[in-house]
Amino acid sequence: MILKLIRKILFDYRFFLSKDKVYVLMFHKVNDDSDVFYKGMPTKTFYNLIEYIILHFQIVHFEEVEYLLGKQEKPLLVITFDDGMDDIRTNVYDFMMERKVKFTINIDTKILIDSKPQYFIQVYDILNHSTKIESYYDSKYMKERISVNYVQPYETESAFTYLLSPMRNSEKEDFIDRMRLNLGLQQNCFTKVLSANWIEKQKENTLISFGSHSHSHPIFSELNSEQIKTELSISRNLLEEILHKKIEVFAYPNGEAEEYTDGLIQNQGFKIILKTGDRLNHHGKFPSNIFYRINMYQQDLEMAILQSIGLLPKLRDIKTKIWN
Ligand SMILES: [Zn+2]
């Protein structure tokens, strides 16, 4: 309510928007499910946010940024979706097509083979669908119990991410299988993901662009350069086979980037590299082929708007500086 009033007074925050900056948003789930872990943005919030963005920004694809920057009337904004959730097909697609909104989908291609989301999401799915537990322990893979916090789910999400990150894929699969069986869930408890068939149908759709989000969604700092090259080439080849066009965008899994891996990615033929960091891209200050993204998961429209224009991350920074 107060935020709404502030927004009215400040004319939709329009004085805070800058035409020198490129705004890049990163979405994952958009749905009205009652998930606790890895919660999606509610559909109503998403639709209203996109209406706000249409009003104040020029929504473009990455490859248009260089040409348009400096010549445009409104600030440039790019919309991205990571992890290939089926929500894109069921809750996002129709709205975006109707409003003619461009967006990029970054696919971790193993999901197209398994018809299951990446490993971290499978763990969150198990937690979301099982009856509440205080903690989880598996003596084969864990030194200590992970407490399951339903009030601050982020802590539990990070603990499982940290646990799974150094494991080989076969170990991750075994760990998840054991966890699913331990908590009494069926194979079909996992979130639905996009299919190769659906992606192929978008081949001629100029509103949708596709990027690689690796193959099996590992944390790149846990891999050696050979493993990174394999992740990149499997993913790019699969997408290029489906779409019959060059894949030039790469989004780091979990946004985690090491300086030296940027070069490996470029050597594999990717022209645009996406990282996270909840910050805007200032023209001239960053190399134009690397874009930082703002993580969009807010439940409330006002918060989502503040986040998308980079104000919420800035306020958070100021708060941290004051308290520390
Ligand atoms: Zn991801």
Residue 14 pLDDT grade (very low, low, confident, very high; cuts 50, 70, 90): confident
Torsion sign (Cα): 302, 305, 308, 310: negative
94 vs 317, more confident: 94
Among candidates 43, 48, 39, 42, which has minimal Cα distance to 7? Answer: 48
Q: In a 10 Å sphere around its CB, with 0-12 CB exposed, 13-18 middle and 19+ buried, how is residue 286 labelled?
A: middle
The pLDDT of residue 311: 87
The domain made up of 2-114+193-323 has a fold known as TIM Barrel (3.20.20)
Give the three-class secondary structure for 271: coil
What are the C-alpha distances in Å from 246 to residues 57, 235, 243?
28, 12, 8
**Distance of CA 174 from the midpoint of ligand 1 (Å):** 21
Which pLDDT tens digit goes with each residue over 157-197? 999 999 999 999 999 999 999 999 999 999 889 999 999 99
Which pLDDT tens digit goes with each residue over 199-234? 999 999 999 999 999 999 999 988 999 999 999 999
Which pLDDT tens digit goes with each residue over 45-55? 999 999 999 99
DSSP 71: T
**Distance of CA 179 from the midpoint of ligand 1 (Å):** 21
**Distance of CA 27 from the midpoint of ligand 1 (Å):** 10
Q: Per-residue pLDDT for 41 more than 70?
A: yes
Mean pLDDT of the chain: 93
Q: Comparing 16-20, 188-192, 295-299, which segment has the lowest mean pLDDT?
A: 16-20
**Distance of CA 118 from the midpoint of ligand 1 (Å):** 8
Residue 144 pLDDT grade (very low, low, confident, very high; cuts 50, 70, 90): very high
The pLDDT of residue 108: 98
Look up residue 39 and give its amino acid. Answer: K
Give me the residues paired with residue 78 across strands.
24
Give me the residues paired with residue 282 across strands.
21
**Distance of CA 127 from the midpoint of ligand 1 (Å):** 18
Q: Per-residue pLDDT for 3 more than 80?
A: no
**Distance of CA 216 from the midpoint of ligand 1 (Å):** 10
The pLDDT of residue 288: 75
Specify the pTM: 0.94
**Distance of CA 301 from the midpoint of ligand 1 (Å):** 23
Ordered by start, the domain boundaries in the chain are: 2-114+193-323, 119-189
Residue 70 pLDDT grade (very low, low, confident, very high; cuts 50, 70, 90): confident
**Distance of CA 71 from the midpoint of ligand 1 (Å):** 33
276 vs 194, more confident: 194
Q: Per-residue pLDDT for 317 more than 90?
A: no
